Amino acid sequence: MIFLPLIITGLIYLITLSNSIYGGDAGDLVSAILSRGFAHPPGYSLYTLIGIVFTQFPFSLSPAGKTTLISSLSTMASFIVLYKIMQLIFKSDFNKIIAITTIIALGFSYIIWLYAIVPEVFPLNTLLVLITFYSSLSFHKTRRNIYLYILALVSGLAFSHHHTFILVLPSVLYLLWIIRMKIKVRFLSFLFCLFLFIAGLLPNLQMFFATRNHAAVTWGNATDIKQAFAIVTRQNYGTFTAGSFITSLPRHRILQIKNLFLYIKDDFTYLGIFTSIIGLIFYFRLRNRLVKIPMNVVLINIFFFGPFFLFYANFPIGSTFFFATMERFLHVFYFFFAILIYYGIQWTISIIEKLIRRFIIHENLNRLAFIFVMFLFFIYPIGQYTRNFRVLSSLKHDYTAEKLGMDILRNAPEKSIIFLSGDTVLFDTEYVYYSSFPKYKSKIIVHTSKLTMDYYQQTLKTVYPTLRFNKKEPRSIESFIEANIDTYPVYSNDAYKLTRLKGFTWVPQGILFKLEKESKSSNGENLKKIEEFWSYSQNRYLHLRVKKDDPIFKNLFLTDILRIYGIAHQNSADFLIKNGKIKTALTHLNEASILQPDDPDISFLMSKYFAAKGECLKAEKEIVKVIKNDSDNLYINQLKSIGNNCFSNESDRARINRRIRQYELKKAIKLQSF
């Protein structure tokens, strides 16, 4: 009975399947597969090996599309395992129709549907977690060794894939602890379990081969078990945190729980919240031990994969990029939460049925009322589908992220070095580079943050043998530039501060900056390069798409691309203002304000624009707008510049100086208070 609805769901996934990279980590994951390397920690060795197989399939899909099939198939398989888990928990009380309704509603919730149609590691992680849970629950009920064997093998595979798998272990240990006195496992069976677990860890050997072969995309030096273990456990990132930049403020951690509630409300609606509360109420009233214990472990998993993990991980909540990062980690949580929703729907229908029988005496009306109530619940999946179809189906033919990579590679000429930093810029560009290889092979991509690491320098020497390295200062970015500047033009998406390279400057030429000698730099030529970039940009109509409310930008990771192009427009406008191209600069500022309406730097640049036009009051108004919220020295200096260079009237200058003193005094008080 489960298969027909799942086939329909699977077909909808295939119809909406993305054939490109989505954003976030997708570019890194597929690039690691294409280069036979391994992605950022924990490395995802199992996923990479499966991806290498899938990208060889003779389908008319891009490498990203073929890799996405892992997500789709893992999600479909997870639905089947979830159905089996619910069947195992509720036994004779199990309602197939309600279970299928719940699973389809889950399948059309935003996060589950999204990560079924884009390249990501989380659907496979969910499948491994659910199989682990199902096998431990089955062993708890039957004591059959076959489930121990499955548990051992899948646990090993899971440790070869994603570190958050460990969060399922408290529930597994709880189940085993309850029956500890009844477990009778022979020594040979124990050895076989150990063998299967080790066999499941074997995919991690892929990291050793990638390191030995100096694969182009690697994120660590897996030359021995200790270093491989550091990668798998994300030691340099804090294991269960996004990085060392995470705060420890208690209110931030509490806000994570609030955000979890908001995600549940948005993805499952108030109906999902209501039924889950009903399910929780009737869980506390349970007296049947055969159901109570499995529901205990379901709640343990809901706790560890939801509130516990988010409270500990404490994702930054200051940008849509980090909200997008956070939402992926709810994937496993949603599957366990669906069990609570199923239980709540079952009891809600049971209560309503009793009320109908009590208050509606007429048999036909009684039956009609009950059918109506059942209909309300069964349209829940349809509601989920209609809510999310427009936003998610837009991904099918969207190449915004891929076009960003194309723009960056086209921004630099042949035989040039391109320094890249930031996940979106780096990962999207790497994907285009490796999926189109050897089209761009003359261009040298350098991941800036890894340049100081010995293993990465060795990788660069292997992949790009013509590069030179300063042996006296191998860990310095500037020394690397010095060693190669005479051979290669140098480009970067970040204008790094240079202390020794005197007479050089970073000049914006689109998304990238070019490093040039000031004496040989031609402003006319650079203005031409900026014009060419924006004329031929693959994403040149982004601002129009935003104005038309393109549903693609409801997907959070893609909004980071708007940020990148918004900053590029700002950099272009700044350069144009300095070189007297005021009218063209305004065009770029207007487009930047559409892409990034809340960026204070746009008002800062608008202030410079009005000052250049001699419209001093407008220039003052724009910069004052910014300083009221942020008294950064950059903004205060702009106000000083307006007072000194724009206004000629002494009374205006005096007024500006009074403003500046007030802002500086306010800033000093804030600093002292801090």
Alpha carbon distance 191, 296 (integer Å): 30
Tallying the residues shown for the chain, one arrives at: 674
Alpha carbon distance 513, 496 (integer Å): 10
Is the pLDDT confidence value at 668 over 70?
A: no
More confident call, 319 vs 309: 309
Q: What pLDDT is recorded for position 629? A: 83
More confident call, 647 vs 534: 534
∠ CA 104-8-154, rounded to 5°: 65
Q: Which residue has the tokens 């993990």?
A: 309
Q: What pLDDT is recorded for position 674? A: 38
Is the pLDDT confidence value at 366 over 90?
A: no
More confident call, 251 vs 583: 583
Lowest mean pLDDT among 28-37, 370-379, 449-458: 370-379
- Token readout for 527 is 């203005």
Average pLDDT over residues 279-304: 90
Q: What is the DSSP string of 2-14?
A: -HHHHHHHHHHHH
CB 368 within 8 A of CB 320: no
- Token readout for 614 is 């001699």
Report the candidate in 106, 113, 110, 122 with the shortest Cα–Cα distance to residue 24: 122
Domain boundaries, the chain: 3-393, 400-598
Q: What pLDDT is recorded for position 454? A: 86
∠ CA 589-520-411, rounded to 5°: 45
Distances (CA, A) of 387 to 266, 269, 380, 539: 10, 10, 11, 27
What percent of the chain clears pLDDT 70, i.e. is strictly above it?
96
Q: How many CB atoms lie within 10 A of CB 63?
A: 22
Alpha carbon distance 606, 167 (integer Å): 50
∠ CA 375-380-384, rounded to 5°: 150
Alpha carbon distance 560, 582 (integer Å): 28
Report the candidate in 111, 104, 117 with the shortest Cα–Cα distance to residue 9: 104
- Backbone φ/ψ region at 614: left (φ over 0), alpha (ψ -120 to 50), beta: left
Is the pLDDT confidence value at 669 over 70?
A: no
CB 313 within 8 A of CB 240: yes
pLDDT tens-digit map of 216-251: 999 999 998 999 888 898 887 777 777 666 677 778
Alpha carbon distance 429, 142 (integer Å): 51
Q: What pLDDT is recorded for position 243? A: 65
Q: What pLDDT is recorded for position 658? A: 87
pLDDT tens-digit map of 395-445: 999 999 999 999 999 999 999 999 999 999 999 999 999 999 888 989 999
Average pLDDT over residues 363-391: 81
More confident call, 373 vs 71: 71
CB 298 within 8 A of CB 89: yes
Average pLDDT over residues 255-276: 92
pLDDT tens-digit map of 445-493: 999 999 888 899 999 999 999 999 887 776 788 999 999 999 999 999 9
Q: What pLDDT is recorded for position 195? A: 96
Is the pLDDT confidence value at 338 over 70?
A: yes
Q: What pLDDT is recorded for position 362? A: 67
Q: What is the DSSP string of 41-77?
A: TT--HHHHHHHHHHTTS--SS-HHHHHHHHHHHHHHH
| Helix (H) / strand (E) containing 505 | strand 504-508
Alpha carbon distance 654, 39 (integer Å): 58
pLDDT tens-digit map of 146-182: 999 999 999 999 999 999 999 999 999 999 999 888 8
Instruction: State the pLDDT confidence band at 671, using cuts at 50, 70 and 90.
Output: very low
pTM listed for this prediction: 0.93
Q: What contacts 520, CB < 8 A, 6 or more positions away?
A: none
Prior bond to 438 cis, omega within 30?
A: yes
Q: Is 23 helix (H, G, I), strand (E, B) or coil?
A: coil
pLDDT tens-digit map of 540-580: 999 999 999 999 999 989 999 999 999 999 999 999 999 99
What percent of the chain clears pLDDT 90, i.e. is strictly above it?
68
